[in-house]
């Protein structure tokens, strides 16, 4: 049985003090209820990462970097390495987020190199993939996803890495737009991703790999989205910036984790 996972991507939001406050609110909310069926990960900006790690220390909440370099060190001004993230206490790292793909021009090959470096360095990579509206409208969503699975994931790993990896499906047209894929659209994409993982890595990997939905998840639609048998939680953007909303989404994942 796959344990549900809800990860908050705070993007370029929250000062160090604000990050501490939000992390504490989430940590207290998680500790105050039986949410043992859900794994929770917070993804603060780099400068607040150590502060969030300290705030949630002793609990069950993981902390993710929002990106990493595939270089371990060197003359790469502005980059953050895997050893830097692990030294700060990170447990996960978000890779290939649609904003980095669309705004920073990151391609599948680079995402694969980052995923390989992250896994080798002890971080669990959360590998993002998905399609823009033009692809959805053209009816080529599944072929786009298949290409990304092959080049971003299979390109990183010849076989499943010991620590595994997490996949996040992001319909780009539903990020920050207020639009959301229907539960049926989300489930179709997730089921297809799992089929591709099985074809590449085998049944065990496909069954064990958690696939998250990321695209305008909110407290009022989370339960319907998470009800899909291949949807194992969410990568949450805007709603993760409000502790009460994020906790409601975590509760929705807990409710549906029994069927996962």
What are the residue numbers of the active site? 97, 170
Ramachandran assignment for 25, one of left (phi > 0), alpha (psi -120 to 50 degrees), beta (any other) = alpha
> Cβ(41)–Cβ(61) under 8 Å?
yes
> Cβ(118)–Cβ(153) under 8 Å?
no
- Look at residues 140, 203, 194, 145 and name the one whose alpha carbon lies nearest to residue 170: 145
Q: Is 3 in a helix, a strand, or coil?
A: coil
- Look at residues 103, 228, 199, 117 and name the one whose alpha carbon lies nearest to residue 165: 117
Q: Is 136 in a helix, a strand, or coil?
A: helix
């Amino acid at each position: 049985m796959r344990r549900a996972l809800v990860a908050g991507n705070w993007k370029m939001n929250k000062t160090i003090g604000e990050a501490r406050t939000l992390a504490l609110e989430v940590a207290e909310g998680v500790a105050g209820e039986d949410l043992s069926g859900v794994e929770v990960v917070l993804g603060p900006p780099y400068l607040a990462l150590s502060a969030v790690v300290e705030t949630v220390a002793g609990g069950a909440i993981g902390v993710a970097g929002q990106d990493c370099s595939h270089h371990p060190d060197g003359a790469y001004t502005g980059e953050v390495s895997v050893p830097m993230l692990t030294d700060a206490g990170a447990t996960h790292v978000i890779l290939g987020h649609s904003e980095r793909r669309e705004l920073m021009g990151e391609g599948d090959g680079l995402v694969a190199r980052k995923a390989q470096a992250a896994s080798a360095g002890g971080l669990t990579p959360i590998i993002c993939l998905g399609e823009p509206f033009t692809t959805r409208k053209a009816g080529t969503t599944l072929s786009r996803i298949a290409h990304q699975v092959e080049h971003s994931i299979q390109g990183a790993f010849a076989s499943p890495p010991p620590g595994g990896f997490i996949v996040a499906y992001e319909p780009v047209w539903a990020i920050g737009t207020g639009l959301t894929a229907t539960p049926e659209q989300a489930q179709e994409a997730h089921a297809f991703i799992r089929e591709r993982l099985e074809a590449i890595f085998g049944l065990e990997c496909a069954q064990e790999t958690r696939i998250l939905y990321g695209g305008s998840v909110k407290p009022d639609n989370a339960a319907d989205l998470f009800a899909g048998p291949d949807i194992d939680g969410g990568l949450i953007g805007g709603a993760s910036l409000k502790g009460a909303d994020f906790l409601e989404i975590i509760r929705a994942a807990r409710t549906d984790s029994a069927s996962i």
